[in-house]
Every structure is written in C-alpha cells, then in structure tokens.
C-alpha cells in the first residue's frame, strides 16, 4: 500500500504553510477551538499525537500538564519545523506513517489526531493500533475532514450557486461509495479517503471504543456577521470530531 | 408542544398504506432487511416497539421468541389495523405519543423503533425515557430518515439532474440548522425534525448508551441492475440505523 506523503511535496508544503500562517482560517476559527473544548484534562498524562505536523499541539499538551508527548508524522518536512520551533525535553517526534504506530513500544492515556485521518487508507488498522496503545479508559480524540467534504471527487462543482454567486447548496454525490478521492489543493493529486459516518462509528465500536462525543462545528451568528463567507458551513460542515473512550 | 399525528389524517393514511402495499418499495428492499440484520436474539425477551404502526413488526418479534411485546403508536388509525391484523395474547397496543412512554410501568430488554423518531421533536426526551425503561445491557435499535433527507426543507429541489434527467447529486442545504421541516408527502405539512449526526450520537451517549452499530443502507449492484432508480441511494441514503447498548 502506497502511503501519501504530500507534505514532503515542496509546493504543497509552501501553500499549506501560507494558509496556516493566515490569521483568519478555518483551523483557527473552528478546528482548534473545537479540539480544545473536547480535550480531556491532560495533567500527568502520556499523549500520542497522530499526524503532529509542526508540533504546535504537542507543546500545547505539555503546557496543559502532559508529562510525555510523542508526535508522529509521515513528513520529515513537517517534523523539521516541529523540532526547530516546538521542541521540549518531554516531546519525542517520530517520522513514521500513522499506519505503523502499533510498533511504538509505549502505552498512552490519550491519543489525539488533528485533521490527519482522512489521509489514511487503512483507518481500521490505525484505530486498532490506537486501541492497542491506549490504557483502559484512555481517550481517543480526533478531527478529520467531514464526510460531506471527503466525498467530493473533483468531478463536479462542490456548490450550486444562485444568480448572484451565493452558495445555496452543497452538491453531494456517491456518499455511499467509499473510495480514495484525488483532488487539487495547492497541487494536483492530494489523496483523501472518503468514509461514511457509519463506517467511522462502526470501526471505533468494533475496536472497543465507546463514542462519548461527536462534533460538526459551524459558525455562531456573530461570526457569520463578521465573516459572511463562513455561512457555507451551515450547509456543509468542514470538520468532524470524535471523542471515544477505550473500554474492556 | 403539539405532537404530530399525521397518520390519523385519512388522506395521508390512504396514500401511506398504498405505498406500503406495493411489493417493491424502499421499506421492503432496504429498511426491513437492515432492521432484521441488526435485531438481537429476541428469545425470552420483553420488547417495546415505538411507533409500531400496523403492528407487523410486533407479531414478527413474537415469532422470533419474544415473550412480551408492547407496541406504542400515536395514531389510533394505525392501531386499529394492528389490532385487527396483528393481534396476539402477548402483544399490547397502546395509543400514546412516543414522548409519553416514560409513563409505562414495565421494563424491557429491547426497545425498537422503525422509521418513527424523525417525527419526534423531543428526541432527547424519548431517548432518556427509553434509557429508563431498559434493563442494563438492554438494546435500543432504531431506524429513522437519514439526516440527508430530514434536512430537506421543501424550499429547493432535492436533486440536481443532468440533461437526460438523471440525478447527478443530492442538494444539501442548512444541514447544521436543526429544525422542523414541513414537506409534502401525500398531504401538505408532514412534519419531520432534522437533527445532525452529532446530535443523534451525543444524545445517545449522554443518556448512557454505547453505540455498537450504525448503518446507512444502500443497494447492491445486483439490485441496481434490477431497479436502476435506486442508484440514487448511493448519492444519498434514505435511512439511518443505530443500535446501542444501555450501560451503567
């Protein structure tokens, strides 16, 4: 199985970094606040971050009281930034695909993944590996692109617009066909894996997880007043969050 | 809170019954087989059926070994058919809204509801009532209209079609706006309540349920060969199923 390492593509990396450096973006407005609202108390906890990227989250977990953080990413480009900008004696950055984390010889109290799992073909394999690395009662918390978004294949327009160009509805096709979708995001051929809601839920249940919270963040009215372009998220949320507890 | 009792509208009732009497319909092809595949072993079990309608499921549960079945429906029209066509000494039919089932003075091992919960405004209240009626380890299994369907408001076309009239994508608007949608189905003003996936999942989790299975049924290739009109369900499934276990 070929594993995508798009973040080591220089052109993609530059585009992605410039987007993340913008002050107002969907990550800052929705993804990060929602993730924070779902974080368990990390005091004294050992944390694994899957797809840690630049490592900003890893240092934040240390500040929140984690005693040990392991950040895993497939991209050495990303980890180079992480080691330069977000190092800490209690953080270890590992360059490996998420699919290989079962090889890590430690256990964790919390496993977190921010916007990475939609890049993974073998979701079941990763969820089972996470289950194996977590202590009983441990938390698995992740965000991913929403199934409404991963199901977009690039073969049609994402949106139907009115005569004024305003988005009036999201176009959804082949939601029930689970597949890899190659779309263009800075570069051609960014591979995302589309999975139905039910597949995500069932994969977690089958691996011994109890889902305790799910979130599909959308803007407040105040935020839409300030940034009207985010009204779209009422039609089709960008992100899906799942918080699950490992049970016996 | 006004509770919809659309099944006691004679025109609606006639239209609905004629649809259900058709041999090939979405219920027979998808809803019923999926429900059967998710049913737990009912031998010796006490079963509550929420929105039991004509009672066909209730007699089926008895045939599958249930020792006691209570069927609840808001529509006396429906229960009249149930009592005539599907009576059994171990079945009791009760004419009450689902929102009132907390008043039932019995406990159950299994609570099942087929395509009724999208008519309920106070989903949280019903889920909490079900939790109260179930023994620990008891099963709550339900189907409802899929959130892709309940979010349809009647204010735009459900589908975008190509020049040959073939449906090419489902139109989704205001998925994140939870609300009552009044649409026309045999009669005007059929009220359905739209809830996001996350709300359904969180309501169950908050009431002490562990979700063990979710299903969004879609046709097999063989079935699409036979009934090409059902290809639409790949774009947008009609039904959502949830099977959950009550935990301490």
What sign for the dihedral angle of Cα B158, B163, B167, B171? negative
Distance CA A18, CA B4 (A): 52
> Is residue B22 scored above 50 in pLDDT?
yes
> Is residue A178 scored above 90 in pLDDT?
yes
Q: Name the pLDDT band for B2 (thresholds 50, 70, 90).
A: low
Instruction: Supply the pLDDT for residue A1.
Output: 44
Instruction: Supply the pLDDT for residue A2.
Output: 53
- Determine the length of chain B: 248
DSSP state of A217: -
pLDDT digits (tens, 9 = 90+) for A7-28: 777 777 777 777 667 767 888 8
The percentage of residues in chain B with a pLDDT greater than 90, rounded to a whole number, is 76
Q: Name the pLDDT band for A69 (thresholds 50, 70, 90).
A: very high
Q: Which of B173, B175, B231 to mutate to test the interface with A (most CBs of A within 10 A)?
A: B175
Distance CA B217, CA B146 (A): 10
Q: For chain B, how far is it from start to end, CA to CA, in angstroms?
A: 31
Instruction: Supply the pLDDT for residue B28.
Output: 86
pLDDT digits (tens, 9 = 90+) for A79-121: 999 999 999 999 999 999 999 999 999 999 999 999 999 999 9
Q: Is A218 helix (H, G, I), strand (E, B) or coil?
A: coil
Distance CA B212, CA B196 (A): 19
Q: Does A218 touch chain B (CB under 8 A)?
A: yes
Tokens for A187, please give them: 């570069």
Higher per-residue confidence, A183 vs B124: B124
Please choose, from the candidates B115, B69, B114, B109, the residue with its C-alpha nearest in 3D space to the C-alpha of residue B93: B69
> How far is the alpha carbon of A247 from chain B, nearest alpha carbon, in Å?
10
CA atoms within 13 A of residue A81's CA, in its CB half-sphere: 16
pLDDT digits (tens, 9 = 90+) for B67-115: 999 999 999 999 999 999 999 999 999 999 999 999 999 999 999 999 9
- Under a CB-based contact definition with an 8 Å cutoff, are residues B175 and A148 in contact? yes
Please choose, from the candidates A197, A54, A1, the residue with its C-alpha nearest in 3D space to the C-alpha of residue B211: A197
Distance CA B244, CA B237 (A): 20
**C-beta pairs of B215-223 under 8 Å, 24+ apart in sequence:** B215/A198, B215/B34, B215/B37, B215/B38, B215/B239, B215/B240, B215/B241, B216/A176, B216/A196, B216/A197, B216/A198, B216/B146, B216/B240, B216/B241, B217/B30, B217/B31, B217/B33, B217/B34, B217/B241, B218/A176, B218/B30, B219/B29, B219/B30, B223/B29
Distance CA B71, CA B93 (A): 5
Tokens for A76, please give them: 């050495």
The percentage of residues in chain A with a pLDDT greater than 90, rounded to a whole number, is 75
Distance CA A27, CA A21 (A): 10
Least confident of A175-184, B98-107, B181-190, B232-241: B181-190
Provide the residue range defining the domain that includes A83: 6-146+196-218+239-246
- Under a CB-based contact definition with an 8 Å cutoff, are residues B66 and B91 in contact? no
On average, the pLDDT of chain B sits at: 92
Instruction: Supply the pLDDT for residue A187.
Output: 66
Q: Which of B146, B167, B174 to mutate to test the interface with A (most CBs of A within 10 A)?
A: B174
Q: Is residue B215 part of a domain?
A: yes
Q: Is residue A69 part of a domain?
A: yes
Higher per-residue confidence, A20 vs A60: A60
Q: Is residue B34 part of a domain?
A: yes
Q: Which of A205, A232, A234, A246 to mutate to test the interface with B (most CBs of B within 10 A)?
A: A205
> Is residue B1 scored above 50 in pLDDT?
no
ipTM of this predicted complex? 0.92
- Under a CB-based contact definition with an 8 Å cutoff, are residues A191 and A182 in contact? yes
Q: Is residue B58 part of a domain?
A: yes
**B176 to A202: CB separation less than 8 angstroms, yes or no:** no
Is the pTM higher than 0.90? The answer reads yes
Q: Does B223 touch chain A (CB under 8 A)?
A: no
- Under a CB-based contact definition with an 8 Å cutoff, are residues B60 and B33 in contact? no
Contacts of A234 in chain B (CB under 8 A): 174-177
Contacts across the A-B interface (CB distance below 8 Å): 101
Distance CA B209, CA B225 (A): 39
Instruction: Supply the pLDDT for residue B17.
Output: 72
Continuous segment of H or E residues that includes residue A17: helix A10-21
Q: Is residue A162 part of a domain?
A: no
Instruction: Supply the pLDDT for residue B66.
Output: 98
Number of domains in chain B: 1
Region B239-245: what's the mean pLDDT? 98
Q: Does A224 touch chain B (CB under 8 A)?
A: no
Continuous segment of H or E residues that includes residue A85: helix A76-85
Instruction: Supply the pLDDT for residue B183.
Output: 75
Helix spans in B6-155 (H): 10-21, 26, 32-38, 56-63, 76-85, 123-133, 147-150
Region B49-58: what's the mean pLDDT? 96
Distance CA B248, CA B243 (A): 17
**A171 to B173: CB separation less than 8 angstroms, yes or no:** no
**B201 to A201: CB separation less than 8 angstroms, yes or no:** yes
We report the CATH number of the domain holding residue A102 as 3.40.50.150
Q: Is residue B39 part of a domain?
A: yes
User: A 24-63 residues with CB below 8 A of B?
Assistant: none
Q: Is residue A155 part of a domain?
A: no
Q: Is residue A114 part of a domain?
A: yes
Region A160-186: what's the mean pLDDT? 89
């Amino acid at each position: 199985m070929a594993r995508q390492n798009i973040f080591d593509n220089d052109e993609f990396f530059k585009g992605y970094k410039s987007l993340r450096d913008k002050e107002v973006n969907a990550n800052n407005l929705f993804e990060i606040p929602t993730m924070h609202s779902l974080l368990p108390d990390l005091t004294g906890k050992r944390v694994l971050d899957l797809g840690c990227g630049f490592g900003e989250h890893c240092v934040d977990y240390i500040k929140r009281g984690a005693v040990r953080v392991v950040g895993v990413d497939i991209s050495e480009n990303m980890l180079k930034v992480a080691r330069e900008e977000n190092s800490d004696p209690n953080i270890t950055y590992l360059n490996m695909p998420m699919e290989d984390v079962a090889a890590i010889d430690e256990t964790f109290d919390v496993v977190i993944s921010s916007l990475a799992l939609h890049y993974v073909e073998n979701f079941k394999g990763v969820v089972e590996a996470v289950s194996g690395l977590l202590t009983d009662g441990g938390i698995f918390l992740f965000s991913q692109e929403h199934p409404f978004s991963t199901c977009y294949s690039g073969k049609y327009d994402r949106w139907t617009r009115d005569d004024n160009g305003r988005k009036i509805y999201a176009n959804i096709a082949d939601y029930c066909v689970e597949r890899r979708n190659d779309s263009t995001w800075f570069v051609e051929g960014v591979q995302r894996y589309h999975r139905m809601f039910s597949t995500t839920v069932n994969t977690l249940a089958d691996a011994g997880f109890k889902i305790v919270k799910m979130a599909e963040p959308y803007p407040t009215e105040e935020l839409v007043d300030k940034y009207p372009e985010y009204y779209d998220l009422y039609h089709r949320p960008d992100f899906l969050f799942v918080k699950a507890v490992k049970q016996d």
